[in-house]
């Protein structure tokens, strides 16, 4: 797979989740490392199946940490808001210029 032209960036857990945990609980979310791994997959992009698997892995990690309700909400929010055709900086394939669909 080709390396995207934009450098990799991450905000930890997107959607303000890392910010909220750090602001109100004075610590990062327990699964923030998994969010960074998830962001790397989203930066790279790929097929619809790769995206679904990346989202599933993140949700499973959050659930394993003892947060099954957050895991479910996170999974559906990512599935909706992370589509590659959205012009958001957290979309699938964000390492590439928009628009860039699935491979």
Q: CA-CA distance, 77 to 68, in Å (whole number)?
A: 14
- How far from 76 is each of 37, 85, 99, CA to CA, in Å? 18, 17, 22
Q: CA-CA distance, 44 to 36, in Å (whole number)?
A: 12
Q: What is the mean pLDDT of residues 24-44?
A: 96
Percentage of the chain exceeding pLDDT 70: 99
Percentage of the chain exceeding pLDDT 90: 92
Burial of 40-55, coded b for 16+ CB within 10 Å and e otherwise, reads ebbbbbbeeebbeebb
Q: CA-CA distance, 96 to 24, in Å (whole number)?
A: 34
Range from 1-5, 38-42, 55-59, 85-89 carrying the lowest mean pLDDT = 1-5
């Amino acid at each position: 797979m080709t390396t995207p032209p934009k450098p990799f960036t991450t905000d930890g857990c997107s959607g303000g989740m890392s910010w909220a945990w750090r602001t109100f609980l004075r610590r990062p979310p327990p699964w923030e490392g998994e969010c960074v791994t998830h962001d790397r997959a989203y930066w790279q992009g790929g097929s619809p199946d790769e995206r679904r698997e990346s989202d599933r892995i993140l949700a499973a990690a959050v659930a394993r940490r003892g947060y099954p309700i957050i895991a479910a909400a996170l999974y559906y929010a990512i599935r909706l808001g992370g589509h590659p055709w959205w012009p958001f900086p957290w979309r699938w394939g964000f390492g590439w210029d928009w628009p860039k669909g699935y491979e």
